[in-house]
Amino acid sequence: MRQVDHFIHGGAGAAGTRFADIMDPNNGGVQAQVVLGDQSVLDAAVAAAQAAQPAWAAMNPQRRARVMFDFKALIEKHMDELAHMLSAEHGKVIADSKGDIQRGLEVVEFCCGLPHVLKGEYTHGAGPGIDVWSMRQPLGIGAGITPFNFPAMIPLWMGAVATSVGNAFILKPSERDPSVPNRLAELFLEAGMPAGIFQVVHGDKEMVDAILDHPAISAVSFVGSSDIAHYVYNRGVAAGKRVQAMGGAKNHGIVMPDADLDQVVNDLTGAAFGSAGERCMALPVVVPVGDDTAERLKAKLIPAIEALRVGISTDADAHYGPVVTAQHKAKVEGWIQTCVDEGGELVVDGRGFKLQGHEEGYFIGPTLFDHVTTDMESYKEEIFGPVLQMVRAANFEEALALPSKHQYGNGVAIFTRNGHAAREFAARVNVGMVGINVPIPVPVAYHSFGGWKRSGFGDTDQYGMEGIKFWTKVKKITARWPDGSPDGTNAFIIPTMG
């Protein structure tokens, strides 16, 4: 059986004694095993990072950028290979996997221009004969702990920025789909990155705790559920580390009465059900303003949802594939039953979906609820599956209050033709990322990604200038050069050799 090993100092790490199964979501079978590491494995990665990082940091930024240029070209060359590898372990369809990789690639492209953004500030004559300037320097060794749902994009968000500014980076990806992170490490090496600068260690909570406690790791970036994000943030900060920890979400889509409902339905079917809803920027709650809007929207949503094709990850005609594990399928279906028990109106039921020839796969059909209310646990918590809940609002103010008061504050969208309503909503809503007629408002690579409230712990966001700030520290220099030389001669005269 295929085995996924650690990637330490340019090659496979030490043999393991603990393993986890890597499932095939399309048929429910075991396709490989991943080695689960311990403290000794992390120590080996840290030692390799400590040996390699000083020379990498001393390399001029332009040369590090050239590595990123070559790495970008290698990802593009191997796009099909990476996408099929990703889909085989995650279950998302090939088109979604390519999107996963492409969004990470955009951050790599941003990093190709890092010599410009790493320039410090300079003031000539801040005082009599005094100049002041600043320089950005790497932290040393950073680590990333990433989730199963974006095994290419999020490691690239973290690792590309961390390494391009001069750090060594240790990645602990999800043990559910670890092959793509290993392949990215190989491509980094092929692009010219020294061994020890981008490494991959696999593991479970034991490895996470080892990373959070290791004294040589200066910063940790995390993406996952909010409870674990809170744990990672608290434990990492207590250990003296810089930590950014992105958590869960319950993103709302506000539909005003003047919205183009055909466009809304098209956007909702992709945003709510794409990638089987396993995205922190999915749109699992739609908020029509007014009962007339709700009824018109529902009438258009039902046939659109029923027309969605669920298939295996390699089915080019499928809109989405299976969820990642049998346990996650059971969890999502449990939330569907909870919403039914709480009084939600089940309009389209995706439970019990079976795909011919793949009956043991982890498939869930698209599900729609109406008349969901804010006191329901299924509304308060993140379902992370192909489930769309409709929460009706009487007016704009009520619609604005729903995402603003929710425990999560990752993303939100408003659909309207009214510029004033959109402007007012964007300014007042208590959420970190806002889309105006954009259902999944993930900022481009030269901006930054991050939510508020229980969606994000820490003071900085992912990638963009916020990422540069997170992975560097600023040194400030104040200098004064006195006139003349110690022996009283004119310092401006060039000395000659006698």
339 is catalytic: no
How far, in Å, CA of 220 to CA of 210, rounded?
A: 12
DSSP string across 23-40 = EETTTTEEEEEEEE--HH
Q: Which of 111, 112, 280, 339 is catalytic?
A: 280
Q: φ and ψ at 446, to 5 degrees? A: -95, 5
Convert 360-381 into a string of H (helix), E (strand) and C (coil). Answer: CCCCCCCEEEECCCCCCHHHHC
The dihedral through the CA atoms of 378, 383, 386, 389 has a sign that is positive
C-alpha 301: how far from chain center: 29
How far, in Å, CA of 75 to CA of 109, rounded?
A: 11
Facing residues of 229 across strands?
none
Strand 18-24 and strand 29-36: the pairing is antiparallel
Helices (H), 377-451: 377-380, 396-405, 419-428
SS3 208: helix
What lies within 8 Å, CB to CB, of 246 at 6+ separation is: 222, 223, 224, 229, 280, 449, 450, 451, 455, 456, 457, 462
Q: Which two tokens stand for residue 341?
A: 């028990």
CB atoms within 10 A of CB 293: 20
Q: Which two tokens stand for residue 140?
A: 């040393």
In the chain, the amino acid numbered 487 is: D
7 neighbors 185 (Cβ within 8 angstroms): yes
Q: Enumerate the active-site residues.
A: 280
